[in-house]
Structure 1
C-alpha cells in the first residue's frame, strides 16, 4: 500500500489484534494422557470447565500482516504501544482513560498522535528528535 492514512493504520492494528486472538494457544509439546476416556455422571459434568471454542485459525497472509504490524510497534513508545493495542482490542475509551489516568478526549488525542507517528514512519517522514546533535 503506497498511501497510508490514520484509518488504514487503525484498521491494520485491529486486524492484527483479531489475528492474534485467533491463533491457537501455545502448549507444551511432549506430554500426553494414557488414561482411557470414561463417562462422567451429570454432577461431575457441572464442575468441568467449559471447552474453549475458537474461530478458524488465521490464514498465513493474515499472520504475515500481523507480524509486519508488530514491527510498526517498535516506532512507538511503551505507553503509546499499550494505548494503540488496547484500542485495537476494542477496549472502551473510558477504560483506556482510566488506565492512563486522563479523560477520554485526551486518550483519543494521544491515540491519534500515535497513529499519526506510525503513518509518518510509513511514508518515510522520519522526524529527528530535538535532543540529538548532528
Structure 2
C-alpha cells in the first residue's frame, strides 16, 4: 500500500514545527470545523412565507445560540491542516483527529480498540510524524514509534 504525502503549509519555511504546535493547529482546525454552518440541500425551497412570531410566542422559548462564523484566514488554515493526516496510518489519523476534537481517552480507546498507553503513543507518534514532515526532515519509516518520537522531540 502506498503512503500518501503530507502537504506542507505555506509558512512552514518560516517556523520550526514541534508536536505541540501541530497539536494546537489541529485543535484550532477542529474548532473551526465545529463552527462552520451546516451544509444545506441545494434545490429545495418553500414558497410559503416565513412565519412571523410575536413577542408572546417567544416568551417561553429557549433562545437560539448564536453561531459565530470563523474568519476566512481560520478557514484557510483549517483546510491546510486537513491534509496533514493523509500520511498517517488510518488508526493514527483517527486518534489524532479524535483528540483534536477534544474526545476523552476512554472514548478514543473504545473506538480504536487500544489500551490508553498504546493510544497515547499512537497519538504522539502521529503528531511527531506530522511535525517531522512539515519541517522537511527525512526519517526512516521503519523506525520504531519511540525512536520517531525521540527524533521529533515529542518526549
- Correspondence for 2:137: 125
TM-score by length of 2: 0.70
- Correspondence for 2:118: 106
- Correspondence for 1:9: 22
Structure 2: 5+ residue runs without aligned partners?
1-13, 54-61, 143-155
Change (3 A) 1:70 1:33: same
Pick aligned residue for 1:19 from 16, 22, 32: 32
- Correspondence for 2:45: 32
Q: 1:81, CA displacement in angstroms?
A: 1.2
Do 1:19 and 1:66's aligned partners in 2 also have CA atoms closer than 8 Å? Answer: yes
**How many residues are treated as equivalent by the alignment?**
122
Pick aligned residue for 1:88 from 84, 87, 100: 100
Q: Show CA shifts across 1:85-121 (max 9, x none).
A: 1001100001111112121111111100010000100
SS, match of residue 83 in structure 2: helix
Distance in 2 (alpha carbons) for counterparts of 1:126 and 1:52: 50
Pick aligned residue for 2:71 from 50, 59, 75: 59
Do 1:97 and 1:103's aligned partners in 2 also have CA atoms closer than 8 Å? Answer: yes
Q: 1:80, CA displacement in angstroms?
A: 1.2
Change (3 A) 1:54 1:17: farther
Do 1:22 and 1:54's aligned partners in 2 also have CA atoms closer than 8 Å? Answer: no
Pick aligned residue for 2:81 from 40, 45, 69: 69
Change (3 A) 1:111 1:52: farther
Structure 1: 5+ residue runs without aligned partners?
41-49
